[in-house]
Amino acid sequence: MHPRSLFLLVLLLATSCLQADPLDSAVSGTTGISTAISRGLHWIETHPATLQDGGLIDLIDEGVAFYLFQKLARQPGLRRHYTALLQQRMASLGALPEFTQWVRQPRKRLLDHYHLVLAAWLMQRAGQPTALQAEIVHQAQHALVTTTAPFPSIPLTIAVFLDRLGDAPAIRLDKLLNTGLVERIAGGNPPVLYSGSPASPQQQRFSRLQLYALIHEIIALTDFGHLAPSPWLAVRRDAVAGFLERAMRLARAEGNYDLLAEIIGSLYFLEIPPDATIQAMLRELLKHQLPDGSWGKLPLDRQNKQRHVVLTATAALWAYGHVDPVPSPGEHRYTSRPDG
């Protein structure tokens, strides 16, 4: 089957899976959630990341999205589709000479080690383990004990994914957990959230960076929602969720729909039910989606200013708007290894 035809079938199935729900009926004068998700999926399919458009980071982020969509898709045909896309994305990433060059680059930031360890984890989960995994792991272990981190969340997330890969993180995980933002918030010492006047641009940026750092702790500890919160995280969940609900208001006030979507996704990973605040923020995402399925260009520190928010916002809407679908009679038409 031609890949475009296959994707049109996927969009039809996705729309049929997302039946009318309280969020859909509560949205007045905005695109319905089913349509919004279908538009987001269409944008993702028709704007694939490349080395020239988004680079290696966006290629990994696409893999993350497919890994999450695989979890969100309850319809077997959709689940197989995103499983196949994840396999394809991680196999093609591992075959790139530029990926090998990145691994063997002599000087890397801790953030580079995070992305490489994450890529190795996604490749393993996709059944496409990289031959470079031992190098990636060894370098990350060495970096954890020799490199100073701008945020404690970075070594923590590296260590969590190293542990998932079955390798010792070089620093005890419980020690890193005790220095992370989740523990800091649960201990009653949350980061200050700067927004608007009289906060300086530097203070506002620092707030955003800390929020993204916290989000990545939650992502790592829950494996993008594939794992329920551990007992350690569960006893800290209410404090973290309360902080994130305040942070959603900051993201909305700044018009930062990428950050807003990331926060909503984190609340989903923490298994927080969609209360009135979350539903209001989901309506904000719906209201600001453009007809082409994107949320426009945002002032992100990325080569492509559109892709990441489409990935995260589509996932956030799907996470809280998804319902069990009626089995589709066309399900058997899906292939397990789509082309392109």
Same domain, residue pair 32 and 20:
yes
**Is residue 123 included in any domain, yes or no?**
no
Q: How many CB atoms lie within 10 A of CB 141?
A: 20
Same domain, residue pair 229 and 319:
no
Which is more confidently placed, 266 or 335? 266
Q: How many CB atoms lie within 10 A of CB 42?
A: 19
Report DSSP state, residue 332.
Answer: G
Counted domains in the chain: 2
State pLDDT tens for residues 260-291: 999 999 999 999 999 999 999 999 999 999 99
User: Which tokens in the block code for residue 255?
Assistant: 């018009």
Cα angle 325, 327, 330 (rounded to 5 degrees) comes to: 120
User: Which tokens in the block code for residue 17?
Assistant: 């899976």
pLDDT (average), residues 163-182: 92
Are residues 267 and 275 in contact, defined by beta-carbon separation less than 8 angstroms? no
**Is residue 62 included in any domain, yes or no?**
no
Same domain, residue pair 195 and 215:
yes
Residues 6 or more apart whose CB falls under 8 angstroms from that of 99 comprise: 56, 93, 119, 132
Q: Give the model's confidence band at 322: pLDDT under 50 very low, under 70 low, under 90 confident, else very high.
A: low
User: Which tokens in the block code for residue 240?
Assistant: 């973290």
**Is residue 78 included in any domain, yes or no?**
no
State pLDDT tens for residues 202-257: 888 899 999 999 999 999 999 999 999 999 999 999 999 999 999 999 999 989 99
pLDDT (average), residues 174-190: 96
Cβ-count burial 5-27 (b if 16+ within 10 Å, e if not): ebbebbbebbbebbeebebbeeb
**Is residue 139 included in any domain, yes or no?**
no
**Is residue 39 included in any domain, yes or no?**
yes
Residues 6 or more apart whose CB falls under 8 angstroms from that of 144 comprise: 113, 155, 158, 159, 169, 170, 171
Residues 6 or more apart whose CB falls under 8 angstroms from that of 105 comprise: 112
Cα angle 33, 36, 41 (rounded to 5 degrees) comes to: 125
Strands in 164-276 per DSSP E: none
Same domain, residue pair 232 and 315:
no
**Is residue 110 included in any domain, yes or no?**
no
Cα angle 254, 112, 232 (rounded to 5 degrees) comes to: 70
Residue 13 has pLDDT above 50, yes or no: no
Q: What is the pLDDT of residue 46?
A: 93
Same domain, residue pair 224 and 324:
no
Give the range of the structural domain holding residue 31, as residue numbers without chain letter: 1-54+291-340
**Is residue 305 included in any domain, yes or no?**
yes
Are residues 73 and 328 in contact, defined by beta-carbon separation less than 8 angstroms? no
Residues 50, 281: Cα–Cα separation, whole Å: 31
Residues 58, 54: Cα–Cα separation, whole Å: 5
User: Which tokens in the block code for residue 230?
Assistant: 């551990």
Name the one residue in this structure whose structure tokens are 């691994």: 103
User: Which tokens in the block code for residue 177?
Assistant: 């957990």
Beta-ladder partners of 54: 50
Q: Inter-axis angle of helices 76-95 and 110-125, to 10 degrees?
A: 130
* Model confidence, pTM: 0.87
Same domain, residue pair 272 and 188:
yes
State pLDDT tens for residues 27-84: 433 458 888 888 899 999 899 999 999 999 999 999 999 999 999 988 888 899 999 9
Residues 78, 61: Cα–Cα separation, whole Å: 19
Instruction: For residue 141, give the nearest of 120, 115, 167 by alpha carbon.
Output: 167
Which run of H or E residues covers position 293? none
Are residues 41 and 66 in contact, defined by beta-carbon separation less than 8 angstroms? no
Residues 205, 324: Cα–Cα separation, whole Å: 39
Q: Would you call 50 helix, strand, or coil by DSSP?
A: strand
